[in-house]
Structure 1
């Protein structure tokens, strides 16, 4: 089964099914042989699950609180092991983007290859086992959920909140351009990406395109976040390097961050041009049309 509702499936059953499937697959993914990829997949499942819980939040606040906290904590427990690879990859992109100055920056990469003694294989094995157990237990609990046939309000109010928050986060990012505001925008965009994927059958030709564009925006904002992490770490731990090199590194990172943010604005301004009330009215119209087609 895919992470989306089906035309012939009641909404409530689709929501229950996706929670059960994603939690179960998270448990399987995190135990995969290739640990870097396994952690990446597991964190992706966590984000999907939290996006579904956010759809349900206005109607089922207790379920949201429990599920969101559970998969937030699972994701955080695994993130440090994945973030090391993401940060190193971001530095490689930074160097590549520096063009003729790439060789100047390359020596700084040693900072990002220092091993964190706290991130042991024993700790990773423990986190994996704990995450798999918690996810399997959650999947068993979700089997018992019953949402009924489900009306638009079962997800519509949650979708409205997500879109509003993402739109407001974009304004905040450009009014107050700091790593934290852009990271918050990224998180809300990721929620919308996953929610559009779940709701895609409402009108696949439109919502699949919208999902892809939100996903592209999330990738741009992800690059922004990773560059910010690289910048902070290198400047904090690069005291043994020449100050001129560090100044050049900071200037080049800022230049590339500016490029990311221009791209994000260009795409975000289009994706969030529609006011929240009009966006949700349009989604409601898609839902009503689907209901009529179902008979």
Structure 2
């Protein structure tokens, strides 16, 4: 099955199906993370983000369920954030080395990278990771049992309004975060923009058969923006470590080049992210989702095609 709502089927059943698939895959990745944390943790967190995006999309249809489950999977993701972040920071050093080959050719980033690898090893090999995976697994298993309690409106007009409202809320979040990132430029502003962009991208996938305009190009642009915002976020996290009083990345002589390259990369990413986000989220969210609501009402109201057995019986 796919990460896409079939407008020919009842909304409740479709959302239950997709949610069960995403949490089921998250559980498989958690099992993988016991032996291969670098791969398993990242893939698990991606599935949790997909599940939370789905819950945000249909939030107005069953607010109690969606609020509770969203918080549950947010807590699960937080359990796994530290170990996953340790890997992401090593990847950030590697991206900087690739982006500035001349400057880093003499190994000016090696000492920092070695410290980050040691930090990753401590987080992945300690008892804390096993405990986190165990707690995350238990929470996801409990969540699977609760899925059948989700109850959404299945009438076409009401279902369309639920989907349009969920999409509109996320677009509003993106627009608000963009305005703040442009005016203040704080790390949290860009992080909020990243989360909204990621959620919107998942909504495009979920609503692929309902979105009123061609989504392939938009989805590609949203994904590219999300990747760049992710790289910028990793730089912010790395900078916080760089500026920490206990110097976890090493003494100034080991981090001088890192600070210089981070500054250059951050400046470029800020500029490109703001420009790309303005292209994607500059329109009125209300205007965009009015079209979605109209198309969704029409598509959801269309009768499901009879299966081959029914057709032949007729």
Note closer, same or farther for the CA distance 1:107–1:25 as it changes in structure 2 (3 Å cut): closer
Cα RMSD between the aligned structures? 2.2
Against the structure 1 CA distance between its residues 138 and 108, is the aligned structure 2 distance closer, same or farther, given a 3 Å change threshold?
closer
Aligned residues: 293
The equivalent residue for 1:94 is 96
Please identify, of 266-275 and 80-89, the stretch whose mean Cα deviation from structure 2 is larger: 266-275
Match of 1:275 in 2: 284
Q: Structure 2: how far apart are the matches of 1:186 and 1:270?
A: 15
Q: What residue number does 2:117 align with?
A: 113
Counterparts of 1:102-251 in structure 2, within 5 Å, are 102=104, 103=106, 104-115=108-119, 117=122, 120-150=125-155, 151-203=159-211, 206-236=214-244, 237=247, 238=249, 240-242=251-253, 246-251=255-260
Q: CA deviation at 1:207?
A: 2.4
CA deviation after TM superposition for structure 1 residue 110, in Å? 2.9
Normalised to the residue count of structure 2, the TM-score between the two structures is: 0.85
Match of 2:62 among 60, 63, 88: 60
* 1:223-243 Cα deviation digits (max 9, x unpaired): 00111222222343255232x
Whether contact under 8 Å (2:191, 2:229) holds in the other structure is: yes
**Over alpha carbons, which structure has the higher Rg?**
2
SS in 2 for 1:152: helix
TM-score w.r.t. the length of structure 1 is 0.90
Whether contact under 8 Å (1:91, 1:109) holds in the other structure is: yes
Any idea what the Cα deviations from partners look like across 1:5-29, whole Å, max 9, x if unmatched?
Answer: 1243222221121122212221122
Cα distance change on mapping 1:45 and 1:226 into 2, 3 Å: same
Q: Matches of 2:250 and 2:83 in 1, distance apart?
A: 25
CA deviation string 1:190-248 (max 9, x = no partner): 11111111111215971233222211111000000111222222343255232xx6454
Unaligned runs of 5+ in 1: none
Deviates more, 1:119-128 or 1:203-212: 203-212
2:262 alignment partner in structure 1: 253
The Cα offsets for residues 68-98 of structure 1, whole Å up to 9 and x where unpaired, read as 1100010010111111110000011112222
* Deviation, structure 1 residue 48: 0.9
